[in-house]
Amino acid sequence: MEDHSRVDSNLLVNRLRTAERGALAALVSLQRNDGHFCGELEGDSILQSEYLLMKWAIGQERAPMVDGRAADEILGQISSYLRTQQRPDGGWGQYPGSAADLSSTVKGYFALKLAGDQANSPHMMRAAECVRAMGGAEHCNSFTNFYLAALGQIPWSAVPTIPPEVVYLPRWFGFHLSKVSAWSRTMILPLAIASALRPTREISPGLGIDELFLDQRERARLYRRSDGSRVWRGMFGAIDRALKIAERLGGSPWRSRAIADAFDWIMRRASQDHPAPTNGLGAIFPPMVYVQIVMYALGIDRDDPRVVRAETDLDAFFIEEGGMIHIQPCFSPVWDTGIALYAMNDCGLDAHNLSAARAASWLVRKECVFRGDWADNCTTETPGGGWFFEYENGWYPDCDDTAMVAMALIRTGGVAAQAAARRGVAWILAMQNDDGGWAAFDRTRDRPILECVPFADHNAMQDPSCPDITGRVLECLAWHGMRVGDTAVDRAIAYIKSTQESEGCFFGRWGVNYIYGTWQSVIGPIRCGVSQREPWIMQAGDWIRSIQQSDGAFGESADSYIDPSLKGKGVATASQTAWAAMILQAVFGDHDESLERALDWLAQTQLTASDAVDSTRNPDGDPPGSWCELEFTGTGFPRVFYLRYHLYRLYFPLMAIGRFLQARKIDAQRSQNGAVDSKATAAPLAGCVNAS
């Protein structure tokens, strides 16, 4: 790394105090009336294109929307936004700067053609050429083929067969629903019903996409993936062919009952009236779309309350701006509120602060004690007590949100908050996997065979342990007094160490990518008492130093999920610079030069009052005190789907700045008390002044 002049520490502290005040004011200005935070959650073009294709598949492209608005106007606004997402090369991609994605481009082209765009229009010709250059529409993934089959562009033989009888598989069976990821679980049964009923909307040939296929023979075949084990791929391909023969013969004698029971499974998890209410199946976009197609295929009238609810819940994801509509994949209020409160804690705020107290009170009310699907893999004595990601999703609390909320609540203080936090930790401990790590939604284990089934090309059929969630859980456990020597902590640390990359970094399953993974994987163990001088910790810190950019910032593109040589490389972002700064402080202490340079970059790039009214500096219209960040630094499914959390650019820099200033405050206090060397202990204690 190049030699750089050192930042003046005293000037930096003063600048960061100003930055902290500005960022806190910006954050509080975004707090909702009931105390929670919820920033926009931005995905890619498939949210628009799949919604449009779904409306055509169920014949609602012209029927009024559930709220009475004209469908052609609403779908026209969605189509307009979809056009803005097209790349100069004609394709659509997964995040800004990514290569064009075949399935995204096919869906974007098809949706716009249905919207009335002519195939000989320049933008459509570029899209078609892009598809052909990538091998043709016959190579689309299974989720895209589902829409193509529903609209008569390919036969259902090209879609993986999922018999609805899977609802009857015994628990010991390797493909029981409890063994796949929670998000796959909510998609499998809707797709299974559709696979059995095969609803097909016939459209005029002129609206079809024949021109996107290069090999018509392959058009009718299940796409043969080349990744993974050839043996297992071949075996599952043979099973799929056998299932298709069985489908042609009418399925099993229990087919009608299986469809009914599968639909009942879906409805119980999509009910607002259940003891575990939810805003739609899984409270996320894909299954909420599939459910509408399933209810259409079952012949349920559109004025049925279940259909009305399904439409209302999905359309709530709309964001209308500038005469266009784009769609969020879900809402993130518990996640945003937990992190925002934790950032406030790092700035020294607790229950005595009104904003922090209101956020904590809202989170306490969102505690989920219902025994949902997660209970299938736990003992009957395991109590509920976690938090989910969205506004309502009682069947699916997750370990990541629960850890985030539980450590924010214990630091904020208050009887109710601390009691809820302790229940959350008890639940988390029961969710620890046999390998010592934690997964997102279930107590589970790695089953690579599941990634070989034809349906698994979303690259996330399972939900095994990952180092980033495990590290956050350790950070949470540390705030609750658990340290090295506790069995759960020791097992988790051993798991994290086993996942370290040769360079010293860690994979980020839920954030982009190795910067995120290293941030979570290192700080938790240090907080639990692992020495910063342990070789594996030092190696992680040295890797972070090695990727720092010349101006002090950090950035990493999601391209690193595809090309490992791009680890830690990318456009500088506020959120990733904040993550790296927190690593540097935890490993090297708060007087580290690289840390000071990273924080100086954050101070210099913070939006001022004049920036806030400059659309080039502040295209999202954030308040002064925030940062501009257009890149996607959140991960849904690696290699498949990525996210831009619009609050990441605010609360993570605030968190990093707050930790630094609190550590410097502790240093000053120790110096006044005659401490000889505070640097050795400042790092693990940074931000811990509110421990209860």
Distance CA 540, CA 533 (A): 11
> In terms of domains, do 517 and 655 share one?
yes
Neighbours of 626 (CB within 10 A): 29
Q: What is the pLDDT of residue 130?
A: 98
Residue 317 lies in a domain: yes
> In terms of domains, do 67 and 153 share one?
yes
Residue 33 lies in a domain: yes
Provide the residue type at 304 as one letter: D
Average pLDDT over residues 433-459: 81
Instruction: Check whether 542 has a pLDDT greater than 80.
Output: yes
In this prediction, residue 682 has a pLDDT band, given cuts at 50, 70 and 90, of very low
Distance CA 260, CA 155 (A): 24
> In terms of domains, do 501 and 635 share one?
yes
> In terms of domains, do 322 and 463 share one?
no
Instruction: Check whether 688 has a pLDDT greater than 60.
Output: no
Q: Among 299, 327, 355, where does a domain finish?
A: 327
Listed residue (396, 336, 313) closest to 36, CA to CA = 336
> In terms of domains, do 267 and 407 share one?
no
Q: Among 304, 327, 350, where does a domain finish?
A: 327
Judged by average pLDDT, the poorest of 168-172, 427-431, 460-464, 643-647 is: 460-464
Q: What is the pLDDT of residues 557-579, one digit of tens each?
A: 999 999 999 999 999 999 999 99
Q: What is the pLDDT of residues 8-51, one digit of tens each?
A: 888 999 999 999 999 999 999 999 999 999 999 999 999 999 99
pTM value > 0.95? no
Distance CA 412, CA 357 (A): 7
> In terms of domains, do 276 and 348 share one?
no
Provide the residue type at 165 as one letter: E
Q: What is the pLDDT of residue 656?
A: 98
Distance CA 58, CA 197 (A): 14
Q: What is the pLDDT of residue 229?
A: 57
- Tokens describing residue 526: 């240090």
Residue 213 lies in a domain: no
Residue 4 lies in a domain: no
> In terms of domains, do 36 and 157 share one?
no
DSSP notation for 168-180: G--TTSTT-GGGS
Residue 1 lies in a domain: no
Listed residue (307, 260, 317) closest to 283, CA to CA = 317
Residue 366 lies in a domain: yes
Q: What is the pLDDT of residues 348-381, one digit of tens each?
A: 999 999 999 999 999 999 999 999 999 999 887 8
Give the residue carrying structure tokens 């009310």.
365
> In terms of domains, do 480 and 467 share one?
yes
Distance CA 646, CA 111 (A): 27
Q: What is the pLDDT of residue 81?
A: 98
Which residues, other chains included, contact 269 with Cβ-Cβ below 8 Å and sequence gap of 6+? 186, 278, 281, 282, 373, 395
Q: What is the pLDDT of residue 612?
A: 83
> In terms of domains, do 393 and 489 share one?
yes
Listed residue (533, 541, 428, 444) closest to 489, CA to CA = 428
Residue 2 lies in a domain: no
Instruction: Note whether 632 and 96 are within 8 A (CB).
Output: yes
Q: How far is CA 479 from the centre of its chain?
A: 25
Residue 3 lies in a domain: no
**What is the three-class DSSP state of 634?**
strand
> In terms of domains, do 378 and 481 share one?
yes
How many residues are present in the chain? Answer: 692
Q: How many domains does the chain have?
A: 2
The more confidently predicted of residues 545 and 253 is 545
Instruction: State which H helix or E strand residue 488 sits in.
Output: helix 487-498
Instruction: Note whether 346 and 658 are within 8 A (CB).
Output: yes
Q: What is the pLDDT of residues 247-268, one digit of tens each?
A: 777 777 888 999 999 999 999 9
Instruction: Check whether 89 has a pLDDT greater than 70.
Output: yes
> In terms of domains, do 50 and 28 share one?
no
Distance CA 82, CA 75 (A): 10
400 is catalytic: yes
Measured at the alpha carbon of residue 165, what is the angle toward residues 160 and 170, in degrees to the nearest 5?
A: 115
Q: What is the pLDDT of residue 223?
A: 62
Which residues, other chains included, contact 212 with Cβ-Cβ below 8 Å and sequence gap of 6+? 106, 109, 110, 128, 131, 132, 136, 137
Distance CA 166, CA 508 (A): 32
- Tokens describing residue 290: 């599939």
Q: What is the pLDDT of residue 351?
A: 97
> In terms of domains, do 22 and 95 share one?
no
Instruction: Check whether 692 has a pLDDT greater than 50.
Output: no
Q: Among 292, 327, 362, where does a domain finish?
A: 327
Domain region containing 562? 9-42+331-449+459-685
Which residues, other chains included, contact 463 with Cβ-Cβ below 8 Å and sequence gap of 6+? 180, 181, 182, 183, 439, 440, 441, 442, 444
Distance CA 160, CA 156 (A): 8
Listed residue (115, 172, 392, 433) closest to 272, CA to CA = 392
Instruction: Check whether 86 has a pLDDT greater than 60.
Output: yes
Measured at the alpha carbon of residue 391, what is the angle toward residues 436 and 380, in degrees to the nearest 5?
A: 40
Instruction: Check whether 454 has a pLDDT greater than 80.
Output: no
CATH number at residue 114: 1.50.10.20
From 346, 400, 435, 468, the catalytic residue:
400
Q: What is the pLDDT of residues 380-407, one digit of tens each?
A: 788 888 999 999 999 999 999 999 999 9
